[in-house]
Each structure stands twice: as C-alpha cells, then as structure tokens.
C-alpha cells in the first residue's frame, strides 16, 4: 500500500504535464458524469447541486465529473433536483418558470461500479465447447528442413536471439510455409514499429518483464482498477494483457520471443480486473490519445450467443472523439477481437464494440489456415489473422521477469497481431488516418483458401466472407501499400429516414422484405462519393430473439447477413433500436435499391413484428472542403419513430406469406407492391394482394352473422355487412338509430376527455416543457427551457437534410447500437482459473 502510494507520488510530475486523470474513490463518494451546454460554467451547476466539480471527463468536450461528499445508496442528486424543478414548474410555483442552471444539463449519469454486462477477455478458454477442447495437446509436424534453415538464417540476419523465436510460427512458419503474417521482409527493411505506440487496454501490463521493459511507455499507461499510474498485473489471473502486449511489442533481446512490431512503444491501461464506471471506461478509450496510436482491445460482452450489448453513450462518445481528435486529428485506431462465441452461434454484430464503424474487428484462423471453432462470423468483420487451433497456439511473453507463454489463443490473440501490423504501417507512413488503415486492411487482405460464403465485391475487387472478412492480414502487403498510399478524403455520411414496416414476420424461409431507394441526388446532397460502412438500425418485436435473422441486400446485389439466428438467445425481445453494421459493401456507390429481409425461420409458437428500420451509409466525401465533423452519439437513435416523410421514402414491404398472382417466387421482394411508409398497411395492399381465393371467400361466408338474410336489398336498412337482426326495416331504423345515438354520445365523451388531456399536456409543455435529462436534447441552439423543452423536429425533409446543423440524426447509437436490452448477464459463470478471485473481480470472467 505504502509502496503504491509512493510510486504514485513519483509519477505525479509526469501526470501534471499531461491531462490530470482523477482518482475516484467510489466507496467514499458518489460521482456523476454530466454533459453541459457548451459555455456553461460547470462550477455554477455543481454548486447549485451541492456537488463538487472534479473537472473534465477525460477528453470529452463539455463533459464533467461531479462528486457528492457522501455516497447515498440508490439516490441520484441530479435526477432528483431536475424532477423537483419540473414539479415546481408544473405547479406554477413562483419563480420556477425562470431559466435555471439545471436547464443547461444535457445529460447526467450517476456512475456505478457495476456494468450492464461484464467485459470478458477473449482468450481460448472462453468457450467451454464440447466440440473442441480449448487447448488440445500440441501436435508435432515433420519439420521442413529448408524452411527450418531459412528461419535460422533469418534470425541471424535480423540479429534475433530470442529463445522462442523459432516457435513463433505466426511470425515465420517453417512447418506450414505461408501460414504466418508475412512480416520478416519488413523487418529486413528496418520497419519494426519505430515511433509507433500501441496501448493494450486489458487486465494490466507487466512492465517489469524483461521482454516488455525496453519498449514500455509509462506516460500512456494507467490503472483504472487499483487506481494509479502503474498498470501492474495484481491478481493471479491478470496475465491476458501482458500476453497480448508481448505479441505486439516484445523486445528483440534474449527473453522469450519478439513482437510483430518489436521496436514499437507499448502502454497498458488496466480496466478488466475490477468493475469500473462508464466514465472510467470512456477515459480509458482516450487515454493519452495524442501519444498513443493504436488501442488493442481483446474483450467485450460475453460470447454466449445470448448477450446483445453495446458500449454506453459515454464510451461511444469517447470513441468518436478518438477517431476525430486522437493522434493529432488522424484518429485513434481501435482494434477489437471479434469474439469467441461461434460454437454458441454468437455473431459479432450482436456486440456493439466490434460492430462499431470506429473499430477494426479481427477474427481468427489457425496455423493451418483453417477456421477455428471459436471465431465468430459477421458482416462487420474486416480481417482475420492467426491464433490457436490445429494443435497449437500463439507463443508470447507472460507475466514475470522472463516468463514465456505458449498457449495464448482465441480471437484475443488475433487482435494484437493486427495492432502490431498497424504499428508497422504507421512507421512506414505516419500520416494514415483511421479510415486509411481500414482501406489498407481491406485492399491488402489475402483470401483464405477455405470454403466459405466468399462473394466478390466488385467495387474493391476483393471477395468477402462473413467468416473471414476480406481475408487474412498480410503485413508485408499492407505496409507496402501503405508506403505509397494516397490518403482518402474525409468521411461523409447519409442517414436515411426511419421506414415503417409494422408488419408481422411470416415464419419459414421467406421472410419479410422492405426496400429503400437511395438516389444519386441524395448522396450528392450528402457529399458522399463511395461507401465504406453501412449500418442498419432497426426495431423488431419478437417473443424469441434468437429465431430472427436479417439480410441486407445492396443495389449491386451484395448480401450482408447482418443478423443471424442464435439458438441460445431465448430473450423475449426483438431488436430495440439496435444497429447492425456491414463492411461487405465497401467501395459501392450506394445508389439504388437497398433491401432488408427479416426472417423467422423457426416455425414455432414464437412470433414477431418488423416495426421499422433506417439505413446509414458512411464513406468518403466527394468534396473534402465540404466535409463536416462526425456527429456526437446521442442517447437515443430517435424518439419519434412516428413521423416519416412518405413522399421521399419509398420503402415497400412485402408479406411473402401471401402468394402473389404473378407466379414469381413470393420471396422476391421485387414483385411486390410499393407501400408508403406511413404504416397504413391495410389501405395500400392492393395490386399484389391476390383477389380472395375460394378459401378466403368461404371464410367470409362462414363468418358469424347473427341472422342470415334471405332477401338482400329490400329488407335491409343498411348495406350488406350490417346485420338486420331479423327485424323489419322500421325496427332496424330504431335499433341503428339508438346505436348511433349511443355511439355519438360516447364519441363526444371520448373527444372531450382527449381534448382535456391534450390541453393539460400542452399547458405543461407551453409553460414548462422541461424534459428529463436522460432524454437528451443536444440539438445545438435549441435551448431546453425556452418554452418547449424537447421540441421535436419533424422528420419531413430529413432526407435532404442529413447534414443540417443540429439535425436530430446526430445520434451515435446509430453507430454504436446503444439501446441494448440485456441488463447484465450473469457474471462469473466462466470456468476460469481465477475462481478464488471471483469476489474481487465480480463480473470479469477469466477465460
Ligand atoms: C510476403 O512478403 C513478400 C516479401 O517479403 C512478398 O513478396 C509477398 O508478396 C508477400 N505475400 C505473400 C502472400 O507471400
Ligand atoms: C532503423 O531505424 C531506426 C529509426 O528510424 C534507426 O534509428 C536505426 O539506426 C535504423 N537501423 C538500421 C540498421 O538502419
């Protein structure tokens, strides 16, 4: 304890020169993350609340941390104060109508030390899979003599004396030639990561290891768990981060092996060993973000095929901030391991970190180039690289002065290799932006010679597979391309309107399709030249989420399986404002018809309704001078799903359960009628709806009619569908007259009640209009308290307004898929070795 205090003290001068990272004591205080209107004094707001302003929240503009003197269980100072103000305004108390400091609070979030889900390290033991034991005994292969000699010569030439270098097959594979990352040619050119910095965001970094020490970058390191500047592994199972770090930056010396970028600097930010708050995690994602180039993250929500989790709004904002302002504005590079849940039907599009457009998602292949049982598929996967499987794993550094480890694996081990390759690319060309890195990854990836759903993406001339992304990373090819790479123009985007479907999903193979036509003009107005990432945010109700799957078809015919069936996902929920992402449409123009097909292939008692969706196209700007900064993620993609501009949004839904007259396959959405998107399904089902077949008309006849009529016209007071009650016309007039009177009375009553309610609501709005801060309104320049709190903008015109200042689409859950619904899967169900530490590490599974 004393030692730690002392070491913290010694590191203080270093800290003061950069940003001062607060040490928060969650046992002694309550903390709040608040987002204030720009220009507002945080001290004025905090003192009004009786809280202390602790200063800025990491790198986020206008975000602060407020501290309460004492922690109060289940009490929220800010929400309570705002509710109180609201109440006083509602009661029209004197003075309450005046502008108030609390009106400047755009977002307030009490910081809790539990997360909505545990972050799980993605090592090889994560999936107890009966199909494949996590660590199979290592096989031995007959060595290929020349290759072995080549490895020895290589080491000599590069002066690599590290004892396990020859075992590091992922760097040079002399048993399965060609199955390595193809890096040695770069080392021969002295491209070894000089000047690049990688941060391992994980469970610590053993900077006392002789393999790490020479490259350790202390100023980029921090421990958010046992707060202080040293990310030292402290728990017995805090080994994951050091192993990942060794893959990137183990020094060329006489200890263990070497990293991909063995002359790069390596930092560690420790977040996985205890629970941390959202504010801490947000800070971690921007830690020393001018000095750090690449953040390597081998963790995420559980890979059990049940979780559907996205980063909190603060973390999502930190990542946007990172790509926008990090690395001198060229953008922090976030590398994420894709997840190990393939054996449990998990898919990385159900993980909001890996399916973020701001992260590079890396999957695994094994030393024979095969797909390992654990590595997940998804349309957001960019690339794969080597990891465990086929009887071997990654050989790297371990915790301890000169300890090595030979069983590092899972997608956890794949991510850092790509982070290392990026460190080499940045040495070769430090100007690359975060998007250039993604382009280079797509264009230099080498197709994996394995059967899969490889489909040619003609726009980039590369095949894409949901299992392997664009293929495996080839360090040499990537860095070679990086040297002469012409930087891409800034990012631009087009956000489509919400398209209402509101239609039951037929069970079976066919699904329910909805279309949206993107015109040339829309993209021209959006300044968007060609696509990179495509996201679809959607709402689907379903009584068993795992039954659903979703396809996205682009105008070129390329199909992304953005959501897949998950057998373990029993959740009685569909998709709630969830954002799926695809990189399969990279390079396409985006112009033309986009189709989303929602399927419920399990024919059972579980059913659902496809509510609505919206597409977002991100890519390269046409005119760099007109590019605008990225939108800041908002807490909700949108609150008003109800308003859709029907003239411009020409989405059509198809109920494929109904056979069409044309005889074309009913699953083909093209046959079907255009349906306006205002949700009035019944009125628009005309052309393609078959005329009632004999069966249906029989049903009509059989439908209960109190008293069948003998003679049609003469005895009926009203037309056919109205029953005659077997009475005379005169009696019918009486009956219907009385009914009409009753109905009129009821209608009047209802109308009066409705009017009163509305009036009440409008009065509340007009006078007070203050809405809760958690429903954030960040439309710049629309003051919350000027009479109409959350003044909802209409969606009309939105199509051509995607770039308008303060456009309501400036959401980022669009981007990060906020709006998840799994409120925390159980923690500690892992079979990790650190059982005894479970109490200390609630919620972090050891894998
Ligand atoms: C690997 O690197 C070499 C140069 O060292 C290069 O010629 C080759 O194209 C690269 N890729 C493959 C797949 O061999
Ligand atoms: C390799 O590059 C580094 C940094 O650019 C330089 O300091 C070093 O002398 C170079 N080594 C050789 C052998 O050229």
Q: What CATH code would you report for 492-701?
A: 2.60.120.260
Ligand 1, from 474, 479, 480, 483: best to mutate by most atoms within 8 Å of Cβ? 474
What's the token pair of residue 811?
A: 């959401």
Triad 846, 21, 28: Cα angle to 5°: 75
Whether residue 416 contacts residue 250, with contact meaning beta carbons closer than 8 Å, is answered with no
| Residues in the chain, total | 847
Q: Is the pLDDT of residue 736 over 70?
A: no
pLDDT of residue 122: 77
Q: Give me ligand 2 centre to Cα 187, in Å.
A: 11
The secondary structure of 443-458, three-state, reads HHCECCCCCCCCEEEC
Task: Please tell me if the CB atom of residue 189 comes closer than 6 angstroms to any atom of ligand 2.
Answer: no
Tokens 């926008």 -> residue: 324
Q: Is the pLDDT of residue 1 over 50?
A: no
Identify the three-state secondary structure at position 416. Answer: helix
Residues annotated as catalytic are 202, 240, 412
pLDDT band at 124 (very low <50, low <70, confident <90, very high): low
pTM score, whole prediction: 0.76
Q: Is the pLDDT of residue 390 over 50?
A: yes
Q: Which residues of the chain does CATH 3.30.70 include? A: 27-112
Ligand 2, from 190, 252, 264, 265: best to mutate by most atoms within 8 Å of Cβ? 190
Q: Give me ligand 2 centre to Cα 195, in Å.
A: 11
DSSP string, 140-156: -----HHHHHHHHHHHH
Nearest to 175 by CA among 146, 151, 150, 141: 141
pLDDT of residue 379: 98
Q: Give me ligand 1 centre to Cα 544, in Å.
A: 48
Whether residue 408 contacts residue 458, with contact meaning beta carbons closer than 8 Å, is answered with no
Nearest to 655 by CA among 498, 552, 497, 501: 501
What's the token pair of residue 326?
A: 């990090």
Q: Is the pLDDT of residue 24 over 90?
A: no
Q: Is the pLDDT of residue 822 over 80?
A: no
Q: Give me ligand 1 centre to Cα 582, in Å.
A: 29
pLDDT band at 143 (very low <50, low <70, confident <90, very high): low
DSSP state of 69: S
What's the token pair of residue 464?
A: 């894409």
Cα–Cα distance for residue pair 193/326, rounded to 1 Å = 19
Cα–Cα distance for residue pair 372/656, rounded to 1 Å = 37
Ligand 1, from 385, 475, 477: best to mutate by most atoms within 8 Å of Cβ? 477
CATH topology of domain 27-112: Alpha-Beta Plaits (3.30.70)
Task: Please tell me if the CB atom of residue 185 comes closer than 6 angstroms to any atom of ligand 1.
Answer: yes
- Give nearest CA residue, ligand 2 atom 12: 190
Q: Give me ligand 1 centre to Cα 184, in Å.
A: 9
Nearest to 768 by CA among 80, 48, 91: 91
Region label for 400, one of left (φ > 0), alpha (ψ between -120 and 50) or beta (otherwise):
left
- Give nearest CA residue, ligand 1 atom 9: 477
Cα–Cα distance for residue pair 695/118, rounded to 1 Å = 54
Identify the three-state secondary structure at position 756. Answer: helix
Task: Please tell me if the CB atom of residue 218 comes closer than 6 angstroms to any atom of ligand 1.
Answer: no
Alpha carbons within 13 A on the beta-carbon side of 1: 0
Ligand sitting nearest the alpha carbon of 185: 1
Task: Please tell me if the CB atom of residue 447 comes closer than 6 angstroms to any atom of ligand 1.
Answer: no
**Cα of 831 vs its chain's centroid, Å:** 27
Averaged pLDDT of the chain: 78
Whether residue 68 contacts residue 51, with contact meaning beta carbons closer than 8 Å, is answered with yes
**Each residue's pLDDT tens digit, 361-380:** 999 999 999 999 999 999 99
pLDDT of residue 629: 87
pLDDT band at 97 (very low <50, low <70, confident <90, very high): confident
pLDDT band at 332 (very low <50, low <70, confident <90, very high): very high
Q: Is the pLDDT of residue 784 over 80?
A: no
pLDDT of residue 630: 79
What's the token pair of residue 61?
A: 């503009």
Residue 681 exposed, middle or buried by CB count within 10 Å (0-12, 13-18, 19+): middle
Task: Please tell me if the CB atom of residue 190 comes closer than 6 angstroms to any atom of ligand 2.
Answer: yes
Residue 649 vs residue 745, higher pLDDT: 745
Task: Please tell me if the CB atom of residue 182 comes closer than 6 angstroms to any atom of ligand 1.
Answer: yes
Cα–Cα distance for residue pair 105/237, rounded to 1 Å = 41
Q: Is the pLDDT of residue 751 over 70?
A: no
Range name among 70-84, 106-120, 404-418 with the lowest pLDDT average: 106-120
Whether residue 398 contacts residue 239, with contact meaning beta carbons closer than 8 Å, is answered with yes
Whether residue 658 contacts residue 689, with contact meaning beta carbons closer than 8 Å, is answered with yes
Cα–Cα distance for residue pair 536/510, rounded to 1 Å = 20
Nearest to 802 by CA among 566, 549, 491: 491
- Give nearest CA residue, ligand 2 atom 11: 190
Residue 552, CA distances (Å) to 241, 495, 555 in order: 36, 16, 10
- Give nearest CA residue, ligand 2 atom 5: 194
pLDDT of residue 766: 31
Residue 70 exposed, middle or buried by CB count within 10 Å (0-12, 13-18, 19+): exposed
Q: What is the mean pLDDT of residues 576-601?
A: 97
Ligand 1: nearest atom to the Cα of 446 = 13
Pairing of strands 404-408, 394-397: antiparallel
> In sequence order, what are the residues at sequence separation of 6 or more whose Cβ sits closer than 8 angstroms to the Cβ of residue 742?
none
pLDDT of residue 21: 59
**Each residue's pLDDT tens digit, 241-273:** 999 999 999 999 999 999 999 999 999 999 999
**Cα of 782 vs its chain's centroid, Å:** 28
Task: Please tell me if the CB atom of residue 474 comes closer than 6 angstroms to any atom of ligand 1.
Answer: yes
Whether residue 407 contacts residue 391, with contact meaning beta carbons closer than 8 Å, is answered with no
Identify the three-state secondary structure at position 405. Answer: strand
Tell me the β-bridge partners of 503.
610
Whether residue 65 contacts residue 279, with contact meaning beta carbons closer than 8 Å, is answered with yes
pLDDT of residue 637: 62
**Each residue's pLDDT tens digit, 613-640:** 999 999 999 999 999 987 788 877 654 4
- Give nearest CA residue, ligand 1 atom 5: 185
Cα–Cα distance for residue pair 75/91, rounded to 1 Å = 24
Task: Please tell me if the CB atom of residue 77 comes closer than 6 angstroms to any atom of ligand 2.
Answer: no
CATH topology of domain 120-126+143-488: Rossmann fold (3.40.50)
Q: Which residues of the chain does CATH 3.40.50.200 include? A: 120-126+143-488
Residue 543 exposed, middle or buried by CB count within 10 Å (0-12, 13-18, 19+): middle
**Each residue's pLDDT tens digit, 520-535:** 999 999 999 999 999 9
Q: Which residues of the chain does CATH 2.60.120.260 include? A: 492-701
Task: Please tell me if the CB atom of residue 109 comes closer than 6 angstroms to any atom of ligand 1.
Answer: no
Task: Please tell me if the CB atom of residue 838 comes closer than 6 angstroms to any atom of ligand 2.
Answer: no
DSSP string, 279-315: HHHHHHHTTTTTT--EEEE-EES--SS---B---HHH
- Give nearest CA residue, ligand 2 atom 10: 190
Q: Give me ligand 2 centre to Cα 440, in Å.
A: 25
Ligand 2, from 194, 261, 427, 430: best to mutate by most atoms within 8 Å of Cβ? 194
DSSP state of 495: E
Ligand 1: nearest atom to the Cα of 186 = 5
Phi and psi (nearest 5°) for 753? -60, -45
Cα–Cα distance for residue pair 739/354, rounded to 1 Å = 61
Q: Largest Cα–Cα distance of the chain, in whole Å? A: 110
Whether residue 423 contacts residue 194, with contact meaning beta carbons closer than 8 Å, is answered with no
Cα–Cα distance for residue pair 518/523, rounded to 1 Å = 8
DSSP string, 96-111: TTS--GGGGEEEEEE-
Nearest to 82 by CA among 96, 94, 93: 96
Task: Please tell me if the CB atom of residue 194 comes closer than 6 angstroms to any atom of ligand 2.
Answer: yes
């Amino acid at each position: 304890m004393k030692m730690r205090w002392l070491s913290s003290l010694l590191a203080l001068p270093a800290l003061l020169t950069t940003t001062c990272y607060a040490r928060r004591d969650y046992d002694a205080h309550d903390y709040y993350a608040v987002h204030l209107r720009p220009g507002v004094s945080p001290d004025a707001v905090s003192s009004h609340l009786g809280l202390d302003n602790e200063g800025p929240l990491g790198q986020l503009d206008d975000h602060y941390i407020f501290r309460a003197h004492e922690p109060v269980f289940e009490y929220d100072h800010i929400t309570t104060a705002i509710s109180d103000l609201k109440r006083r305004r509602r009661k029209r108390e004197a003075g309450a109508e005046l502008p108030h400091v609390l009106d400047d609070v755009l977002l307030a979030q009490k910081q809790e030390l539990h997360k909505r889900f545990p972050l799980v390290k993605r090592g090889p033991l994560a999936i107890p899979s009966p199909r494949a034991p996590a660590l199979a005994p290592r096989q031995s292969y007959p060595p290929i003599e020349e290759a072995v000699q080549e490895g020895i010569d290589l080491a000599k030439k590069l002066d690599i004396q590290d004892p396990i270098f020859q075992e590091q097959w992922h760097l040079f594979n002399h048993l399965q030639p060609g199955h390595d990352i193809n890096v040695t040619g770069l080392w021969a050119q002295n491209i070894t990561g000089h000047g690049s910095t990688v941060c391992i965001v994980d469970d610590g970094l053993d900077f006392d290891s002789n393999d790490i020490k020479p490259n350790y970058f202390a100023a980029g390191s921090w421990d958010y768990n046992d707060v202080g500047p040293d990310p030292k592994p402290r728990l017995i199972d805090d080994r994951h981060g050091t192993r990942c770090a060794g893959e990137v930056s183990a020094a060329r010396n006489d200890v263990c092996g070497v990293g991909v970028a063995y002359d790069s600097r390596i930092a560690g930010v420790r977040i996985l060993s205890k629970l941390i708050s959202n504010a801490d995690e947000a800070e971690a994602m921007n830690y020393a973000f001018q000095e750090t180039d690449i953040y390597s993250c081998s963790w995420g929500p559980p890979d059990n095929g049940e979780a559907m989790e996205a980063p909190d709004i603060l973390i999502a904002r930190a990542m946007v901030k990172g790509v926008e302002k990090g690395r001198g504005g060229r953008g922090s590079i976030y590398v994420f391991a894709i997840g190990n849940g393939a054996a449990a039907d998990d898919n990385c599009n159900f993980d909001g970190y890996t399916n973020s457009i701001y992260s590079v998602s890396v999957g695994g292949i094994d030393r024979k180039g095969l797909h390992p049982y654990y590595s997940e598929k998804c349309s957001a996967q960019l690339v794969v690289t080597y990891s465990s499987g086929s009887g071997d794993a990654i050989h790297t550094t371990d915790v301890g002065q000169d300890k090595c480890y030979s069983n590092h694996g899972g997608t956890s081990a794949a991510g850092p290799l790509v982070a290392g390759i990026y460190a080499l690319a940045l040495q070769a060309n430090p100007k690359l932006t975060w998007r250039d890195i993604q382009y280079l990854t797509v264009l230099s990836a080498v197709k994996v010679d394995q059967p899969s759903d490889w489909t040619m993406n003609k726009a980039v001339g590369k095949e894409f597979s949901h299992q392997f992304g664009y293929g495996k990373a080839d360090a040499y090819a990537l860095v070679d391309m990086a040297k002469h790479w012409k930087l891409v123009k800034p990012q631009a985007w087009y956000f489509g309107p919400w398209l209402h479907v509101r239609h039951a999903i037929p069970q079976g193979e066919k699904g329910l399709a909805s279309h949206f036509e993107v015109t040339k003009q829309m993209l021209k107005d959006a300044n968007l030249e060609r696509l990179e990432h495509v996201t679809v945010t959607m709402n689907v109700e379903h009584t068993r989420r795992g039954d659903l799957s979703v396809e996205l078809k682009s105008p070129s015919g390329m199909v992304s399986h953005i959501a897949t069936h998950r057998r373990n996902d029993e959740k009685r929920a569909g998709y709630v404002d969830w954002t799926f992402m695809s990189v399969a449409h990279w390079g396409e123009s985006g112009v033309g018809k986009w189709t989303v097909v929602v399927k419920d292939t399990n024919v059972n008692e579980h059913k659902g309704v496809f509510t609505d969706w919206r597409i977002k196209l991100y890519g390269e700007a046409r005119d760099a001078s007109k590019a605008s900064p990225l939108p800041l993620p908002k807490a909700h993609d949108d609150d008003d799903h109800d308003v859709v501009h029907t003239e411009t949004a020409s989405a059509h839904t198809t109920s494929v359960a109904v056979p069409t007259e044309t005889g074309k396959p009913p699953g083909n959405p093209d046959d079907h009628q255009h349906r306006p998107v205002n949700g009035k399904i019944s009125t628009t089902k005309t052309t393609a709806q078959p005329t009632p077949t004999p069966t249906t008309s029989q049903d009509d006849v059989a439908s209960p009619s109190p008293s069948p009529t003998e003679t049609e016209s003469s005895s009926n007071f009203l037309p056919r569908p109205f029953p005659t009650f077997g009475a005379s016309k005169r009696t019918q007039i009486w009956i219907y007259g009385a009914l009409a009177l009753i109905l009129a009375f009821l209608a009047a009553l209802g109308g009066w009640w409705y009017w009163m309610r509305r009036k009440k609501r409008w009065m509340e709005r007009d006078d007070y209009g203050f809405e809760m801060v958690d429903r954030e309104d960040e439309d710049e320049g629309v003051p919350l308290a000027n009479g109409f709190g959350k003044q909802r903008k209409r969606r009309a015109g939105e199509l051509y307004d995607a770039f308008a200042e303060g456009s309501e689409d400036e959401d980022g859950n669009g981007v990060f898929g906020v709006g998840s619904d799994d409120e925390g899967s159980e923690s500690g169900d892992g079979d990790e070795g650190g059982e005894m530490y479970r109490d200390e590490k609630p919620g972090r599974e050891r894998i």
